[in-house]
Amino acid sequence: MEVKVNKKSKSSTDEELLQLSKQELIDKIKQLEAHNSQLKCIVQKNLKPDTKNENGKHSNKRRPFDFSKCHKRHILLRFFYLGWDYQGFAAQEDSIETIEHHLFTALQKVCLIESRETSNYNRCGRTDKGVSAFHQVISIDVRSKIAPEDDQLSEDSLATELDYCGMLNRVLPEEIRCLAWMPMVNPSYSARFDCRSRTYRYFFPRGNLRIDAMQEACRHLVGAHDFRNLCKMDVGNGVVNFVRSIDECTIHASQTDSSGMGSYDMMYLQLRGKAFLWHQVRCIMAVLLLVGDGKEDPTIVKELLDVDRNPCKPQYSMASDVPLNLYDCQFNEKSSDASGESVSEGSDLRDWIFKEEDLRRTISDLQTLWTRASVKTTMMREMLQTLQDTFTQHFGAHDQISNQASSLTLGVRSREYCPLLQRQRCESLENRIEHFAKKRRIEVSNKSIDSNVCPPGALESST
């Protein structure tokens, strides 16, 4: 089948409102009130007083930058961010606390772009609320000191070019830092569509988890599968194909606890693939934690991937967003223009350009953040050791309490565990398609499509 997404209108008609129930109207009013409060906060934050400097002149006014006199170049820009306190990567209408909002605010503040609409912008991945990234990449047209006819790719040109990372880092929040940039030959090269693989890491403490059982479960995930039972189905945005391919799924040790207590060792799950579904990594991790806790057998993953036997997803809570990190991105050597032909000879990729001074400052800034978090962690670790000794002394129990990983599974825990395949099921894919079609959010035709082909927009990961 073929699905077309109908964009929601700005306002509801009288006829549509009359069809809503009393409870639906109450919910709609509450939603509008909350949205109105958020907009008021945004307006208040953006309103700046027209202050004067010491000379009595207006300090917040400056001459508009004339971009018509500037040269441009197409680049890849690589940066990291700690997304724990942000509402996700993508810009939103009702929040300014997104990575993309701060990024474009910085780009415009230092006059590297005139506007997002004219910047030929694409992003590698769209991480969700709370998710971090060590290797996020965007493609964008930025201001350049070098004219295109003067060979923007020569060593002299690159050495004398604007310090893109240094300029941006001076105005970005401390949790967001640019690391490097790459000059591009092909102006149509896209960080989104020319990305060949994305690697995610999910960090977690060893606790009392059965790592061998989790590794066995990971092996069932490798390859092309229908992941509708291991993601959050986004049918309302036109995603009806849930076949994705995972190239790597492994668990590794990250850090060993200095006291020698293995339950405090840090581990990470590494997943690599071209494209991921909405909340796919967090759903996979939730099931793996159940396996590691001994509540499910490693074969549960195989059962959930068998959509013929299990067409409806069992109800379970996702794993926490805090430990998830977009760790790496790999790109195609060649990209094509609109005609399907490459505009350059050889590889479109060049070396990433790092600047020693910028990298030193970035490392120092991140060390500051690490120090704040590490001191708190060390204090809590000392407290835990003291409490464990007290517990042993008073109750004579020599077993170590190892519930470190239990908090990563969200939701209310029942006293008696109910196996996944015995739980209440979510709606089937067909029912959800019918639901959104009735609401006129999507239009469905009977045109058949290859089940292994991702729908438009699916290559942009959203975990």
Query: What are the catalytic residues?
Result: 128
Rounded Cα distance between 110 and 69, Å, is 16
Compute the distance between CA of residue 268 and CA of residue 297 in angstroms, rounded to an integer: 20
Question: What is the distance in angstroms between the CA of the first residue and the CA of the last residue of the chain?
Answer: 25
Q: For the beta carbon of residue 231, count every other beta carbon within 10 angstroms.
A: 23
Checking DSSP bridges between strand 324-331 and strand 132-144, what pairing results, if any?
Answer: parallel
Measuring CA to CA, which residue among 311, 317, 316, 318 is closest to residue 429?
A: 311
What does the alpha-carbon distance between residue 323 and residue 203 come to, in Å, rounded to a whole number? 5
Distances (CA, A) of 76 to 106, 329, 347, 454: 16, 12, 14, 25
Q: Where are the strands (E) in 274-400, listed by range? A: 324-331
DSSP structural state of residue 240: -
Phi/psi of residue 423, each to 5°?
-85, 165
User: And the tokens for 410?
Assistant: 């969200």
Instruction: Cite the beta strand spans of 356-412 per DSSP E.
Output: none
Contacts of residue 137, defined as CB under 8 A and 6 or more positions apart, other chains included, come to: 76, 77, 78, 123, 124, 191, 195, 329, 331
State the burial class of residue 360 (Cβ atoms within 10 Å of its Cβ: 0-12, 13-18, 19+). Answer: exposed
- CA–CA separation, 152 vs 62, rounded Å? 30
Alpha-carbon span 310 to 294, nearest angstrom: 22
